[in-house]
Amino acid sequence: MISTFKEILTRAKAAGERKRAAIAAPVLRQLKMLEVAAQAGLIMPVLVGDSKKLEDLWKGASLAASDCHIVHEPDPSRALARAIALVKNREADILLQGGTEHQTFIDRVTDADAGLMNGRLMSHVSVFELPERNKIILVTDTYIQDQPTLVEKQSILEHALRLAALLEIRRPKVAVLAAIEQVNPGIPSTLDAAILSKMADRRQFGDIVLEGPLDIDCALDQKAAARKGVHSEVTGNVDIYLAPEMDTGYSLAQLLVYIGKMQMAGVLMGTGSPVVLDLPFVTQDNKIIEIALAALMTGIGGDRG
């Protein structure tokens, strides 16, 4: 099992061949990140935009010209479309969010004709390092699906399970979060959790252990769960936290970073090739981990499940 961010980076480096990472209209801080990733042997940056401006920016950052490839696209509105097309046509392996605003980037990636969707739902998985437990945990969906239906939660869970398999998490333990730990017909998230739990019992998700609904204290603490009558090997030892909706997932991710001081990386799932967002609460060091994760995903054919 991969249990630290350092191991993720080591595995990605050991893969050998550098992946081509396309990015449209990158800003200076992103170039610094690309330099580190290139020097680590993870990627060959493919910069898309006005070639003169990109060359000046690259040189201004004191980066070696041999460490990148520039695709000239002077029209800013077309630069992202060109970067996506490079990935779609297998001329690049990974898509990185450059200077494009978040919603515009997501809209382009999910475009039915020109985007990178593989016919499935897209979701975001946040990956956290727990050094005191020597393990990695996943939280999802933390950015994309506002109010997922039961069917969409099934896809979100399946995405997280694919990433867990890549991280060699065997027989992952999944907590399906809700406001309370009891099934209440008046709280839809508890019904969804109960249905997913029954599906897992019948091995519809493979070799996993899933418990739900669970409120956060039951998920985190086995003693708290026992006091409430919940007895499960999942409680207190969760690998994957499935949030009821994006508000909860996104807020939980921010709390773990800002208040819990935990290290976080993340990646989009459900696209034909790996896509890495530029979220503000992911540190520069951990953005390299995100690139490493994406590089590992290319080794299994991207995210095409």
**Peptide bond just before 244 cis, omega within 30 deg:** no
The percent of residues above 90 in pLDDT, for the chain, comes to: 68
Inform me whether the pLDDT recorded for 203 exceeds 70: yes
What pLDDT band is residue 300 in, cutting at 50, 70 and 90?
A: low
CB 98 within 8 A of CB 80: yes
The four Cα atoms 18, 19, 20, 23 give a dihedral, to 10 degrees, of -110
**Least reliable range by pLDDT among 34-38, 79-83, 148-152, 251-255:** 34-38
Residue 211: per-residue pLDDT:
94
Residue 32: per-residue pLDDT:
84
Residue 62: per-residue pLDDT:
57
Spatial separation of the C-alpha atoms in residues 48 and 71, rounded to whole Å = 5
- Find, among 225, 198, 224, the residue nearest to 210 by Cα: 198
Residue 219: per-residue pLDDT:
93
Superfamily of domain 123-258: Isopropylmalate Dehydrogenase (3.40.718.10)
Mean pLDDT of 62-83: 81
- Find, among 124, 103, 93, 113, the residue nearest to 23 by Cα: 93
Residue 53: per-residue pLDDT:
84
Residue 75: per-residue pLDDT:
86
Spatial separation of the C-alpha atoms in residues 60 and 290, rounded to whole Å = 25
What pLDDT band is residue 303 in, cutting at 50, 70 and 90?
A: low
What pLDDT band is residue 57 in, cutting at 50, 70 and 90?
A: confident
Residue 28: per-residue pLDDT:
82
What pLDDT band is residue 135 in, cutting at 50, 70 and 90?
A: very high
Residue 119: per-residue pLDDT:
65
Q: Return the domain boundaries, the chain.
A: 5-120+271-298, 123-258
* Residue 126 in tokens: 């946040």
Instruction: Please tell me which residue, 17 or 166, carries the higher pLDDT value.
Output: 166
- Find, among 243, 219, 68, 263, the residue nearest to 156 by Cα: 243
Instruction: Please tell me which residue, 133 or 198, carries the higher pLDDT value.
Output: 198
Inform me whether the pLDDT recorded for 63 exceeds 70: no
Residue 65: per-residue pLDDT:
58
Fold category of 5-120+271-298 in CATH:
Rossmann fold (3.40.50)
Inform me whether the pLDDT recorded for 79 exceeds 90: yes
Across the chain, mean pLDDT equals 90
Residue 20: per-residue pLDDT:
94
Mean pLDDT of 103-118: 88
Inform me whether the pLDDT recorded for 13 exceeds 60: yes
Residue 61: per-residue pLDDT:
60
Residue 199: per-residue pLDDT:
97
Over its C-alpha atoms, the chain yields an Rg (Å, rounded) of: 20
First to last CA, the chain: 21
Inform me whether the pLDDT recorded for 64 exceeds 70: no
Alpha helices in the chain, H assignment, sequence order = 5-14, 28-39, 51-60, 76-88, 102-109, 150-166, 188-201, 216-220, 222-227, 246-258, 284-298
Q: How far is CA 51 from CA 19, 70, 71, 80, in A?
A: 21, 6, 7, 14
Residue 74: per-residue pLDDT:
86
